[in-house]
Amino acid sequence: MSRPADVMTALLTAGAARRVRALATAEVRLLVRNRTAMFTALALPVLTVILLSGIGFGEETDLPLGAVVVTMLAGFALLYVVYYNLVSAYVARREDLVLKRLRVGELRDAEILAGTALPSVVVAVAQVVLTAVVAAPAFGMDVPPNALLAVLGVVGGVVMFVLLAAASTAFTRNVEMAQVSTLPVLLLCMGSLIFSGVVVPADSVPDRVRDVAQFIPLTPIVDLIQLGLTGQTPDGDTVGFAASWAEAAAPLAVMAAWIAIGAWALRRWFRWEPRG
């Protein structure tokens, strides 16, 4: 894998777009033909959010329910559709020697990873957008003070969890093991969702928990989306457009750090073929 700048140039050229599209088209077919992956991608995030709302999570917070639903759905879409699905997909392609075969063609390494990820990413983002457009007004949500931050959070979250998924294949020997090997990240991130003020009111979370939780990969994403949609900071203050940028600095830094860590781990440990 070359430097991030090269990767970006590569992905932006016409040839790269054509190659990624060809691979992504095949991956869409594979996703549609894989029932487990389809369920994970299409139903699991929505079901989880419905289930959590059903047992009363999120009601005690002073956030508008619409924003809570969008944030939770974005979180679970990133975890299930992007992270979990892609760990399974990358490992399956590696163990079937598909990655090895792809690597002798014209596709660059980054394009192989991107093309494989694209269908899951599109499904996840579409769910978030759909929820924001359809569900949020239904549950009540004011005009977001800084929607750009929410978009940044979702885009950054996608990049972060694609990279973390690719890096996690290093300790995932086969597709079955993905169910176990993804648990550390999944459980940590679900903890972060619960303690980030979306599910439990921000002021009832002990400061020490909050201090640690802000470094969990999903936390900055959740913070950015919340801040962008409602102007509410993790401390419970409400800020306007200008002040929201200052409040976003910390989560943006943590997000950038996790993206860097994911890219570094990927380059260091990612294997293109089964262990010999």
Partner 1 sequence: MAEAVEVSDVRRSYGGYEAVRGVTFSVARGELFALLGTNGAGKTSTLEVVEGLARPGGGRVRVLGRDPWADRAAVRPRIGVMLQQGGFPADLTVTETAAMWAGTLTAPRPVAEALELVDLAHRAGVAVKQLSGGERRRLDLALAVLGRPDVLFLDEPTTGLDPESRRNTWELVRTLLDDGVTVLLTTHYLDEAEELADRLAIMHQGRIVRTGTVAEVVASQPATVSFALPPSVPREWLPELPGALVVDDGHRVEVHTDTMQATLTGLLLWARDHDVELRELSARPASLEQAFLAVASSEEKETERAEVAAR
Residues that bind partner 1 (CB under 8 A): 15, 18-19, 21-23, 25-26, 29-30, 33-34, 93, 96-98, 100-108, 276
For partner 1, give the closer residue by CB, 18 or 235.
Answer: 18
Q: By C-beta, is 102 or 186 nearer to partner 1?
A: 102
Q: Whole-number minimum distance, CB 96 to partner 1, in Å?
A: 4
Report d(CA 11, CA 5) in Å as an integer.
Answer: 10
CB of 179 to partner 1, least distance (A): 20
Residue (107 or 259) nearer to partner 1, CB = 107
Nearer to partner 1, 64 or 274 (CB): 274
Task: State in angstroms the smallest separation of the CB of 73 from partner 1.
Answer: 29
The two tokens of residue 93 are: 């392609």
Least separation in angstroms between residue 175's CB and partner 1 is: 12
Decide if 91 contacts 175 (C-beta within 8 A): yes
State in angstroms the smallest separation of the CB of 22 from partner 1: 2
Of 103 and 268, CB closest to partner 1? 103
Using alpha carbons, select from 120, 64, 244, 116 the residue that is nearest to residue 128. Answer: 120
